[in-house]
């Protein structure tokens, strides 16, 4: 097994292209299949969990997400722009009607600021982008206003992790880059729509404030106190809980043309490529390192990191991005479906669950948007077929308790409705309502630019 830093290994070529899952694929037929699965899952949700946060797909019940026992229609909101892109217009309108009749954020309950922004504010904004109904924008604004105190309480502009939607009480001053820095696209969209710069400014301040705390070698650690700015860990990672911080630096540039975001993205990426990219066996990986010395901490990989190949390619580092996405695809080949954790040094899983994740399809979709090569669509098709084979339960799609035994768990995360089903559809179906040349999808898959009404 070869382990070496990128650039130190002679002949460090990317892995050979994997064979297509099925040559001569009829993409439109596959797209129709995705749409039929979406409709099937939606009908179960409609019948058994309407307005609830999440359906439990094995037992056919429901569960709340953020606030114990209180539901905010999470899956419904996450699903909306996917339904609209699929031209499932009756289903889309039913969801919008539910929001108008029932959704109320005046709740004495605590939510995660990060999850609420990327899932609910983003979901409402993308649905508003789809149909223009002003009530959706008003709901997004009401929710964002309830979250704003988390940004305002810190002298550094770094938000607390949790806030009570009614009282504004804050908790969780120890936080991380992703939860601090994944909101500029949702808040920036809201600022543009309402002509109120406060949201964009708060999000940008958090991104910059985080960036300014990078080490001399340009890396960020993954835990920090939002009131003092003191680092609480030494680990630099491209995975959770840092992942979407890097994504939103690029996205601030992509969606708003913010040159400071671009400069911050470039600086972070250069440091990551220099200190974290290594060749292990046949593939390139990004390992966790000490943020001040660059010394390796661990080679274990989190499935959530597999989005990063697509981001690198978007930012212009196509060769590195493609190699990393192929590395993850080789793990999918090995286990039939991706485990949550993988150790490339041993070739074994480090976490055996599968959380019904979209990241590899997300990365492949981004590669495909850039170069339209069939390799990526075949990779997405493989991801879809594996999901259909292993994650389909009686009342929807389910996580997996163990990828080695293929035992399912009774849980369908909200992002399933917003992310992979959309990536599959857009990659296969030649969607009439999507601008394939000029678009923006958030970290949660919410389309904030590029819907064709």
| Residues engaged in binding ligand DMJ (CB under 6 A) | 244, 304, 357-359, 415, 443-444
For ligand DMJ, the closer of residues 300 and 444 by Cβ is 444
Number of H helices and number of E strands within the chain? 17, 22
Residue 164, H or E segment = strand 162-164
Task: Check the CA dihedral 382-385-390-392 and report its sign.
Answer: positive
Residue number of the CB atom closest to ligand DMJ:
443
Shortest Cβ 418–ligand DMJ spacing (Å): 8
For ligand DMJ, the closer of residues 390 and 415 by Cβ is 415
DSSP H helical ranges for 154-283: 177-181, 184-194, 198-211, 243-256, 259-275
Shortest Cβ 432–ligand DMJ spacing (Å): 26
- DSSP-derived secondary structure for 23-67: TT--HHHHHHHHHHHHHHHHHHHHHHSTTSSEEETTTTEEE-SSS
Nearest by Cα to 402 from 444, 339, 359: 339
For ligand DMJ, the closer of residues 20 and 240 by Cβ is 240
Shortest Cβ 289–ligand DMJ spacing (Å): 21
Shortest Cβ 415–ligand DMJ spacing (Å): 4
- DSSP-derived secondary structure for 233-257: --EE-SSTTTHHHHHHHHHHHHHH-
Residue 437, H or E segment = none
Q: How far apart are the first and last CA of the chain?
A: 52
Shortest Cβ 444–ligand DMJ spacing (Å): 5
For ligand DMJ, the closer of residues 290 and 384 by Cβ is 384
Site of tokens 């909200």 = 414
For ligand DMJ, the closer of residues 118 and 221 by Cβ is 118
Shortest Cβ 443–ligand DMJ spacing (Å): 4
**Integer Cα distance of 440 and 129 in angstroms:** 12
Shortest Cβ 396–ligand DMJ spacing (Å): 16
For ligand DMJ, the closer of residues 91 and 444 by Cβ is 444
Shortest Cβ 328–ligand DMJ spacing (Å): 13
**Integer Cα distance of 158 and 227 in angstroms:** 7
CB 165 within 8 A of CB 109: yes
Shortest Cβ 357–ligand DMJ spacing (Å): 4
For ligand DMJ, the closer of residues 272 and 363 by Cβ is 363
Buried b / exposed e over 60-71, threshold 16 CB at 10 Å, is bebbebbbeeeb
For ligand DMJ, the closer of residues 110 and 359 by Cβ is 359
For ligand DMJ, the closer of residues 95 and 122 by Cβ is 122
């Amino acid at each position: 097994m070869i382990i070496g830093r990128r650039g130190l290994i002679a002949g460090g070529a990317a892995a050979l292209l994997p064979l297509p899952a099925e040559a001569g694929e009829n993409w439109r037929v596959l797209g129709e299949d995705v749409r039929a699965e979406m409709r099937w899952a939606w009908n179960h949700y409609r019948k058994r969990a309407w307005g609830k946060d999440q359906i439990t797909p094995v037992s056919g019940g429901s569960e709340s997400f953020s606030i114990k026992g209180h539901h905010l229609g999470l899956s419904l909101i996450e699903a909306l722009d996917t339904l609209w892109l699929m031209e499932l217009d009756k289903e889309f309108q039913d969801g919008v009607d539910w929001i108008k009749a029932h959704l109320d954020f005046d709740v004495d309950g605590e939510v995660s600021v990060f999850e609420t922004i990327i899932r609910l504010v983003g979901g409402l904004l993308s649905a508003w982008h789809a149909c223009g109904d002003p009530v959706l924008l008003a709901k997004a604004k009401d929710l964002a206003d309830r979250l704003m105190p988390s940004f305002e309480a810190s002298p550094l502009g770094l938000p607390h992790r949790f806030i009570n939607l009614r009282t504004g009480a804050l908790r969780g001053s120890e936080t991380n880059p992703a939860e601090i820095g994944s909101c500029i696209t949702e808040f920036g969209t809201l600022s543009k729509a309402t002509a109120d710069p406060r949201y964009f400014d708060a999000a940008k301040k958090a991104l910059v404030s985080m960036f300014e705390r990078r080490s001399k070698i340009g890396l960020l650690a993954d835990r920090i106190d939002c009131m003092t700015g003191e680092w609480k860990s030494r680990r630099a990672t491209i995975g959770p809980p840092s992942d979407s911080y890097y994504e939103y630096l690029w996205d601030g540039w992509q969606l708003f043309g913010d040159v400071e975001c671009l400069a911050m993205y470039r600086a972070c990426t250069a440091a990551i490529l220099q200190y974290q990219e290594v060749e292990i066996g046949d593939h390139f990986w990004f390992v966790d390192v000490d943020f001040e010395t660059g010394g390796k901490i661990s080679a274990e990989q989190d499935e959530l990191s597999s989005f990063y190949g697509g981001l690198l390619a978007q930012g212009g580092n196509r060769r590195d991005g493609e190699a990393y996405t192929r590395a993850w695809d080789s793990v999918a080949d090995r286990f039939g479906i991706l485990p949550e954790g993988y150790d490339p040094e041993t070739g074994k899983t480090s976490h055996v669950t599968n959380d019904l994740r979209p990241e590899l399809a997300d990365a492949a979709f981004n590669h495909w948007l850039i170069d339209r090569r069939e390799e990526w669509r075949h990779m997405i098709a493989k991801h879809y077929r594996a999901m259909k084979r292993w994650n389909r339960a009686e009342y929807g799609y389910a996580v997996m308790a163990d990828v080695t035994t293929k035992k399912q768990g009774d849980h369908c995360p909200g992002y399933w409705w917003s992310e992979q089903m959309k990536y599959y559809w857009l990659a296969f179906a030649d969607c009439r309502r999507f601008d394939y040349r000029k678009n923006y999808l958030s970290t949660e898959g919410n389309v904030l630019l590029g819907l064709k009404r």
